[in-house]
Amino acid sequence: MVSVRSVVDRVGPTLLHAVHLPEDTVAVGDVVIAEPGATPRPGAGDLVLGVAVPDAPAATALVRESAEHGAAAVLMKAPLARTPRVRQAARKSAIGLIEVHAATSWAQLVWLLRTVLDAIADEADTLEGGDDPAAGDLFRLADAVASVVDAPVTIEDTNSRVLAYSARQDITDPARVATIMGRRIPDDVLARFRSRGVFRELSRGRQTIFVPGQRDGTLPRLIVPIRMGGELLGSMWAVVSGPVPDERAAAFADTAPVVALHLLRRRAHADVRRRASAELVRALLHGEVGPRKAVAELGLADEPHRVVVVETPGGETLDGEGLRLALLERLSQGIGRRPVAAEHAGLLYAVVPDGAGPGSWPELHDALAAVHGGREAGELRAAAGSAAGLAELTRSRTEAEETLGLLRSGVLRGRVATFDEVWTQLALHRAATAARGAGVPELGPLGTLLAHDEAHDTGYVATLYQWLRHPGDPRSAAKELSIHPNTLRYRMRRLLELVPLDLDDPDVRLALLTQLVALRWS
């Protein structure tokens, strides 16, 4: 059954937002337009487009009349769809109410909705096979656009990855060849275009951008941004021999809305696949599905894997979610195989094979460690659990989360850590947590030192900790405290005057060290 929710998800948040969806879902049938001044006659399950609805009273009447005829939902442009009386009418009539972005063309929306409705049922088998139903159309569209501009064309996303390219090769240069072969603009070429302000111009909404040729043999480019509802979805790049006549450049720009619809359809397909995959990954990490299903539906090999958890700036905010998605896209470009990943509780979880093959933890470790610059690097932390079979990934997830906690607290230095390699810190932390819970630090004279330090800022507890950690080596102990060895010895004399301790007794030293570890590591 094609539901209103599935249609909204496919079209995507750039154009549509569900203001109200009733609990009882209705199968969507067709798209009808409510003509201004005419009484709507939708069929059962139709999507009613409120074209040119003048005001809230008219919108309320349209909602009620559409519900009486059994329509699935009414679509209206912002801000009318959010009017309280319109929303109340939708709730009382038990009909869907969908907000359409104000800048959306109704004609384009009708085309896209009917395309989605025609494709949803047919795409079920395609989704299981992992193919993109819009990929072939995008390549054919690139050929059509190339004929309009009379030049070879590439269609790229906002990360400069090639989504499709035309078959024409009559005008080419090494940069185009490298772009098509690598399916993205090479870093050195990207840097040159960026230095010339090309991407800044793209973000500003220019209709066309002409970039002259360069001394290294790179031919001129005519670039058109692809936008929908004010959002930049990608761009089209035409390799030209020189300046393009205004008429042809305008015709090239006129193709952008059609390409935008295809990119939205492609993104909706990818979002559906990603959500389904993410739900399965979350279930796998919590032990709710078996390894057989993971092998079949996620493409995981029946071999040891590690769970990797990544924390990015932003926490659980929308900005944080965007950073996590951007990070996942960036990492998938730098490693041999895209990680099987999902977001949960503001963190990014990935399941990667152990060993040294494509997409393995060593490769992902290097990619994470190489992330630098901008906001991504400042607070990025990543931790991997130990290698485990697919049926034991819950344990690996728990270990990864524990290791990430040590990175957050500063117990572990750096931004990336592996559970197996930090066993000493983990052992101390677990022992300290247990001792703290049992009230071990409250025993004996340690409380007196803590109170004195708090009152006089003497640093006796830290001094005693380093003295016990470096027995017979005052220089190393003093170095840890950033003080002179004589200062260390002076402090030790004073603290022993305050609380007489028999530091020659090994049990006393062991008990004190246990207490101090509990204070510092719990």
More confident residue, 258 or 339: 258
pLDDT value at position 40?
Answer: 64
- Find the Cα–Cα–Cα–Cα dihedral 214, 216, 217, 220, rounded to 10°: -20
> What DSSP string runs through 409-477?
HTSS-SSEEEGGGGHHHHHHHHHHHHHHHTTGGGSTTHHHHHHHHHHH---HHHHHHHHHHSTT-HHHH
pLDDT band at 287; cut points 50, 70, 90:
confident
Separation CA 221–CA 213 (nearest Å): 7
The class (CATH top level) of 135-264 is: alpha beta
- Please give the average per-residue pLDDT across 498-518, as a whole number: 91
Residue 86 three-state SS: helix
pLDDT value at position 127?
Answer: 40
More confident residue, 56 or 41: 56
pLDDT band at 298; cut points 50, 70, 90:
confident
pLDDT value at position 317?
Answer: 35
Residue 43: count other Cβ atoms within 10 Å of its Cβ.
Answer: 12
Give domain 4-127's CATH number out of 3.40.50.970, 3.40.1160.10, 3.40.1390.20, 3.40.50.720.
3.40.1390.20
With tokens 């038990």, the residue in question is 94
Sign for the pseudo-dihedral over CA of 188, 191, 196, 199: positive
Residue 373 has pLDDT above 50, yes or no: no
- The closest alpha carbon to 103, from 139, 129, 77, 130, belongs to 77
- The closest alpha carbon to 26, from 55, 60, 54, 67, belongs to 67
Residue 134 has pLDDT above 80, yes or no: no
Q: Which residues does 185 contact at the CB level (< 8 Å), separation at least 6?
A: 156, 160, 175, 179, 193
More confident residue, 367 or 465: 465
Sign for the pseudo-dihedral over CA of 341, 344, 346, 347: negative
pLDDT value at position 398?
Answer: 94
Asked if 59 and 87 count as a contact pair (C-beta separation under 8 A), the reply is no
- Please give the average per-residue pLDDT across 237-244, as a whole number: 90
pLDDT value at position 120?
Answer: 61
More confident residue, 11 or 450: 450
Sign for the pseudo-dihedral over CA of 27, 31, 34, 40: negative
pLDDT band at 158; cut points 50, 70, 90:
confident
pLDDT band at 216; cut points 50, 70, 90:
confident
Residue 13 has pLDDT above 80, yes or no: no
Residue 69 three-state SS: coil
Sign for the pseudo-dihedral over CA of 333, 339, 343, 346: negative
With tokens 């993205």, the residue in question is 184
Residue-averaged pLDDT of the chain: 82
pLDDT band at 42; cut points 50, 70, 90:
confident
Sign for the pseudo-dihedral over CA of 290, 293, 298, 302: positive
pLDDT value at position 331?
Answer: 53
- Please give the average per-residue pLDDT across 153-164, as a whole number: 86
- The closest alpha carbon to 310, from 403, 233, 220, belongs to 403
Q: Which residues does 27 contact at the CB level (< 8 Å), separation at least 6?
A: 1, 2, 3, 45, 72
The verdict on pTM exceeding 0.95 is no
Residue 63 has pLDDT above 70, yes or no: yes
Percent of the chain with pLDDT strictly greater than 90: 30
Most confident of 81-95, 138-152, 354-368: 81-95
pLDDT value at position 374?
Answer: 42
The class (CATH top level) of 290-429 is: alpha beta
Phi, psi at 13, each rounded to 5°: -70, -15
Phi, psi at 8, each rounded to 5°: -60, -40
Separation CA 441–CA 456 (nearest Å): 20
Sheet with 381-384, strands from edge to edge, namely 340-344, 347-353, 305-311, 381-384, 416-418
Residue 109 has pLDDT above 80, yes or no: no
Residue 376 has pLDDT above 70, yes or no: no
pLDDT value at position 129?
Answer: 45
Per-domain residue ranges for the chain? 4-127, 135-264, 290-429, 440-521
Residue 358 has pLDDT above 70, yes or no: no
- Please give the average per-residue pLDDT across 316-328, as a whole number: 47
Residue 449 has pLDDT above 90, yes or no: yes
Separation CA 129–CA 127 (nearest Å): 5
With tokens 């470009």, the residue in question is 333
Separation CA 418–CA 431 (nearest Å): 19
- Find the Cα–Cα–Cα–Cα dihedral 200, 203, 208, 213, rounded to 10°: 30
Half-sphere exposure of 414 (CA within 13 A, CB side): 13
- Please give the average per-residue pLDDT across 355-373, as a whole number: 74
Residue type, 244: V
**For the chain, what is the radius of gyration of the CA atoms?**
31
Residue 146 is encoded by which pair of tokens?
């190339």
Judged by average pLDDT, the poorest of 90-94, 165-169, 196-200, 270-274 is 270-274
Q: Which residues does 500 contact at the CB level (< 8 Å), separation at least 6?
A: none
pLDDT value at position 313?
Answer: 62
Separation CA 268–CA 120 (nearest Å): 11
With tokens 């035409």, the residue in question is 238
- Please give the average per-residue pLDDT across 216-234, as a whole number: 85
pLDDT value at position 437?
Answer: 87
Phi, psi at 148, each rounded to 5°: -70, -45
Give the model confidence (pLDDT) of 399-432 as tens digits: 999 999 999 888 888 889 999 999 998 998 888 8
Most confident of 14-18, 230-234, 362-366, 435-439: 435-439
pLDDT value at position 39?
Answer: 66
